[in-house]
Structures are given as structure tokens and as C-alpha cells.
Amino acid sequence: MNKRVVVAMSGGVDSSVTVALLKEEGFDVIGITMQIWPEDSKVERFGGCCSIEAAEDARRVANKIDIPHYMLNFRKIFEEKVIDYFCEEYKEGRTPNPCIRCNQLIKFDILLKKARELDADFIATGHYARIEYSEERKRYLLKRGIDEKKDQSYVLYGMTQEQLAHTLMPLGSFTKNQTREMANKIGLSVADKQESQEICFIPDNDYGRFLRERFKNITKQGSIVNKEGKVLGIHQGVIFYTIGQRKGLRISSPRPLYVIDINKEKNEIAVGNNDDLFKKELTADNLNFILFDKLTESIKVKAKIRYLSPKADAVVYPLKDERVKVVFDKPERAVTPGQAVVFYDGDLVVGGGTILEGRLL
């Protein structure tokens, strides 16, 4: 019997082409679309990668390619594991990355379990990253997608060996343009669909409104101060700010001001000029390494501190309590607590963690 694979179908072009490629390779493909919308949402949701419309698209693709397709309800678990976490992190004055969280706790955990229940050998996603087994290291390796602009390995650094062993990412060897071409060739109606960049559960991208609705009575105004502690203005609640933010501060100043620090304890936002955003080092926790189990000695890497930032030369030092220190060769702009720092060695993902704090020195 052919190997069975469950493909996480979002309704977008990437997961659709993933289905087509695997079917062509002879896999017994099953499509699953995870429904994650809160059930009480009154607002009609349009767009977004897991909206009702996207689910309909996924169904159409499954019909076209002729595979069984199921919509499974992940609302409750998504709410608990991703949305609640997202909100809590903002409450702590941090800037979370919900995609990483979803990958770790939903896609490569619960969905993988569902796939096993269906006797599937693998799950597959439309991520632009490559998974390879290294005989030499006796480990599964995660490599960046060959399309450098589309590379999504950053959001996958949290994958365990077990997860990597049971996951396929066929698009990692293609460029986005090639994917679109393939979609066109197969005649998928989603071929020219817009890329979804926003956070999937906030399709209008207005996370401020989203958080405001969630924390009706919790947000508290506070002071906006400069580096010397002088009060320059009033903020609307720490949850609405992120490091490096320039807009919406409502302070007049001869030079542009940026959020350089968020102090949840003092309920203060610190602002400064662009230079103040540069940090030489950071600490991170919540670590996961792919090249090895544990970091025991310092290692030279290229580090990436957000999804769209370029990689920078750095050295990672192990610390006590399952943390690491990352020292950059040149200071990095807007090191943001809550975001992930991911380490690379050439094409290989070494591992990564969640940024705790950045330091000047």
C-alpha cells in the first residue's frame, strides 16, 4: 500500500500545490483543514489563511485533485494554546510570534497525532523549508528553503527530531514562482491568490483592536518616558506597543522617536532615537536545537531576530537555566522580547529560542 500522508490545507496556493506534488509522487493523500475561528465571532471574516472562505478553497482544491478532505475543529485548542498565549505575551509587554507557537503546539503536535490516528506515516505542510536526514549526524536536519525570499525555516526552529521525522515539506525545493506555475499548470483556482501575511486570527491586521476587545478592563494608561525618565506623554496600555514602533506615540519631537523599552512593572514605555534601538546582545530561553540536543559550548552562527530581518553574525553562549546569550558582531536594531531568535549555519537551522531581553553591551 502507498504511504499515507495528511496535508494541512489552508486553502492557499502553497498547501494546495503540496497536495498535488505528493499525490503525483504516489502518496495516499488526505487533506485536513483546521478550523480555528472562535465560535462566537460575530464579525464576518474575510481572507486570512484559515477563514471560512479559505476552507472552501481547500475543499475545492481537494475535489479537483480528488483526495479525501476533512475540516476539523481546532477552535478550542487554538484559543487555549495560541490566542491566549498571544494575548498574555502582549500583557507582559512582549511581542509574541503566534505562528511559531501554532507550529509547535498545534500543527506538528495535535495535527500530527490526528494523522497518526488515520494511519498516516507523515504530515505535510506548504512551508518553504527542507527536511533531510543526515546519516553522518544521525539526525533530521532542517534547512532553509531554496527560495531565500520565501524561506520559512524561521518559524520551524521549534520542531523536534520526532516531528521532523514525520513531516514532509516538498515546497522547500521550489521557488514561490515555481509553485505558482505548478498551480497554474494543474489548473488550481488558488494559483493567483494573494499572499496572507497577517496574523491568521486577526485578518484585518488590527491587533490593537483585537487586544482591546480581549482586555476591555485591563489596559491601563501610563507614562511615556525618555531614557532619563522624563515624562513625555501618555500611552494607552503597554499591550499596544512593540519595540521599534514609531507610529502612534503622539509626542512631538524634532527627531523621530521609537519605542526602545517596555516596562510592564512600572507600566511605562521608554522612547528614544534610532540609535537607542541597537543592542549588542540578547538572552533567550525556550530553546530548541536541531543540529544537536543541547548547546554545551559557544558556537558561531548567523542569527535572525525576526521573520523578515537579515541574518547577522553572532556567537551563542550557553547559560545556566536552559538559556543562552547571543552576542552580535554588530549591534542589531529592535531586539524584541517575545520574538524568536533563530540560529543558522549556512543553510542549516542550528536551533533557536525566545528572546528574553536585549542589552546594550
Partner 1 sequence: MRFVYLDHAATTPTDPEVVKEMLPCFTESFGNPSTLYKIGREAKKAITLARDKVAVAIGAKSEEIIFTSGGTESDNFALKGVAFANEQKGKHIITSSVEHHAVLETCKFLAKNGFEITYLPVDKYGIVDPEDVRKAVTDKTILVSVMQANNEVGTIEPIAETGKIVKEKGIYFHTDAVQAIGAVPVNVNDLNVDLLALSAHKFYGPKGVGALYIRKGTRMMSLINGGHQERRRRAGTENVPGIVGLGKAIELAVSKMEERSKQLTFLRDKLINGILDNIENVRLNGHPEKRLPNNANFSFEFVEGESMLLNLDLVGVAVSSGSACTSDTLEPSHVLSAMKVPIEIAHGSVRFTLGKNTTEEDIDYVLEVLPPIIKKLRQMSPLREGLDLNV
Residues forming contacts to partner 1 in the complex (CB under 8 A) are 30, 35, 39, 68, 70-73, 75-76, 113-114, 116-119
CA distance 326 to 80: 31
- Looking at the Cβ atoms of 33 and 336, the one nearer to partner 1 is 33
Q: Which amino acid is at 14?
A: D
Question: How near is the Cβ of 233 to partner 1 at its closest, in Å?
Answer: 45
99 is catalytic: no
CA distance 113 to 276: 46
CA distance 196 to 47: 8
- Provide the CB-side half-sphere exposure for 245 (13 A, CA): 21
Question: How near is the Cβ of 72 to partner 1 at its closest, in Å?
Answer: 7
Question: Shortest CA distance to 342 belongs to which of 297, 307, 294?
Answer: 307
87 is catalytic: no
**122-124 and 167-168 strand pairing:** parallel
- Looking at the Cβ atoms of 60 and 325, the one nearer to partner 1 is 60
- Looking at the Cβ atoms of 72 and 218, the one nearer to partner 1 is 72
Question: How near is the Cβ of 39 to partner 1 at its closest, in Å?
Answer: 7
Count Cβ atoms below 10 Å from residue 359 Cβ, excluding itself.
12
- Residue linked to cell 530581518: 309
Question: How near is the Cβ of 70 to partner 1 at its closest, in Å?
Answer: 6
- Looking at the Cβ atoms of 75 and 323, the one nearer to partner 1 is 75
What is the number of helices (H) and of strands (E) in the chain? 9, 17
User: Which member of 49, 50, 87, 102 is catalytic?
Assistant: 102
Catalytic residues: 102, 200
